[in-house]
Amino acid sequence: MNNFVIMTDSSCDLPENIIKQFSIDYIGLICNFNNKDYVENCGKSLSYSEFYDDLRKGTMPTTSQINSFRFYKAFEKYAKENIPIIYISFSSALSGTYNSSLIAKEEILEDYPNADISIIDTKSASLGVGLLVYDACKLKESGASKEEIVKYLEDTKLKVNHLFTVDDLNHLKRGGRISPTVATIGTLFQVKPILYVPDNGTLQNFDKVKGRKKSIKALFNKFEEKVLDPNNQTIFISHGDCLDDANKLAEMIKEKYNTEIIINYIGLAIGSHSGPNTLSLFFKGNNRNIK
């Protein structure tokens, strides 16, 4: 039976055309920006260019998880019609959004005991979530059942590699990811950290290089080391308003591999913490382990 809905949140950073193409039910996280709350909606209510321009000028936004009430309302419209749901969530290690969805599911089941809701903690962020959503939609399009897709997502989520580099260490410092001393020294000497998301869904540093060109090359080198069958998967790149760098990374990949690459902005929810000029690369490997 193929009558089910795929739902995700705005941490997926998928382009709007893909959201529309697959009729994905998309719930926006909230960004408080210049004392106004914006529900993230693919850059329509607050453009990415305005958002990142103001970050560069020193604006410090905050973000809010999706609460259980909003999830309840999102789930209820399908529960009323007995339509099963797969909700593909932002990493529980980075947001309380996943836990809100669990609370809402429990409440829905009290009111609609026959509701069928599967919730996937992806342990992923940005287009790492987006990659899983995209694959799930492709599988549904090909006729896969809800159960087959849930199994695929659980089997695959810890094979989704996240590699990224940031330009301004102060955003990671503000989020508690690095110490103030490391941020100061790194900024002074133009040291660029190379980070990844391990199995627990947090952020970890595994390397550092001096200068932007070397950081982009480091992403590519680790991609080549980790990627599994690159000609037969879609590669995703997200960026914090640095499209030229994203295109350079894509060109490096396309010079060697015949693969589809999808590029999009890092949205408000994640961009608030990663900052301008963040560059991220997502793909499937055998595992996420970084040596």
pLDDT score recorded for residue 204: 85
> CA 39, 45, 48 angle in degrees (round to 5)?
100
- CA gap 11, 54 in Å, rounded: 20
Angle between helices 212-226 and 243-254 (to 10 degrees): 40
pLDDT score recorded for residue 55: 94
pLDDT score recorded for residue 172: 64
Backbone angles phi, psi at 100, to 5 degrees: -60, -40
pTM of the model: 0.94
E strand or H helix at 72: helix 68-79
pLDDT score recorded for residue 181: 57
Among residues 98, 28, 88, 87, which one has the least CA distance to residue 63? 28
27 touches 39 (CB < 8 A)? no
- At 162 the three-state DSSP class reads strand
Max distance between CA atoms of the chain, in angstroms, equals 59
From first to last of its 291 residues, the chain has per-residue pLDDT tens of 579 999 999 999 999 999 999 999 999 999 999 999 999 999 999 999 999 999 999 898 999 999 999 999 999 999 999 999 999 999 999 999 999 999 999 999 999 999 999 999 999 999 999 999 999 999 999 999 999 999 999 999 999 999 999 887 666 666 555 556 555 555 555 678 888 999 999 888 888 898 899 999 999 999 999 999 999 999 999 999 999 999 999 999 999 999 999 999 999 999 998 999 999 999 999 999 887
